[in-house]
Amino acid sequence: MKKIYNVLMAVALTALVTSCYEKPEAKIDELIEESLGSVPVAADYTFVGDAPVVGGQVSFTFNFWSDVEIATINMYSSVDGGTTLVLEQTNTFADAAYSEYYDTDTIAYTFDIPTTLVSKDAIQYIGEVINENTNSDSRTLTFEVQ
């Protein structure tokens, strides 16, 4: 009888402890969502066309998504590791198209590559997505011109 009582108590205690357990990550995600609101995701870039050459053009798509309304999408550039960012283009969410292939929202960009660069100089494009709640995320694309 005592063994049955001990087994039942162990089962009840185990059930009590495991039923109260919640993943800590879930709690952290809830706190972030409550305090900051939804944060957009700047996913990645996809090159379109040939390798970029000095004096030519570079084409790529910028992929992103958000659970809430997006206010703006900014594309900046920086040449050869410079710290100066140039705002190349500002878009609204209306300019984006949904990509079933990537399961993200996408904007296609084409920019002229400066003729002042030489082969092997690096160009960075920084895509920034800003939600209406002012939360943002950015992603950097870096490549060398040929």
**Contact criterion met (CB below 8 Å) for 122 and 142:** yes
pLDDT at residue 27 in the model: 59
Q: Provide the whole-model pTM.
A: 0.72
Residue 43's alpha-carbon distances to 9, 12, 53, 82, 120, in angstroms, are: 50, 46, 25, 24, 26
What is the percentage of the chain residues whose pLDDT exceeds 70?
A: 75
Which is higher by pLDDT, 138 or 26? 138
Residue 82 DSSP symbol: -
The residues that bridge with 89 in the sheet, in sequence order, are 75
Average pLDDT for residues 76-81, to the nearest whole number? Answer: 86
pLDDT at 2 over 70: no
In CATH terms, 38-144 corresponds, of 1.10.150.20, 2.60.40.3880, 3.40.50.300, 1.10.3470.10, to 2.60.40.3880
Average pLDDT for residues 33-54, to the nearest whole number? Answer: 83
Q: Model confidence over 103-135: pLDDT tens digits? A: 999 999 999 998 988 889 999 999 999 999 999
CA distance 48 to 101: 15
pLDDT at residue 92 in the model: 92
Nearest CA to 78 among 121, 108, 109, 47? 121
Residue 69 DSSP symbol: -
What is the bridge-based pairing of β-strands 57-65 and 41-48?
Answer: antiparallel
Which letter, b or e, does each residue of 61-74 get, where b requires 16 or more Cβ atoms within 10 Å of its Cβ? bbbbbbeeebbebb
CA distance 72 to 68: 12
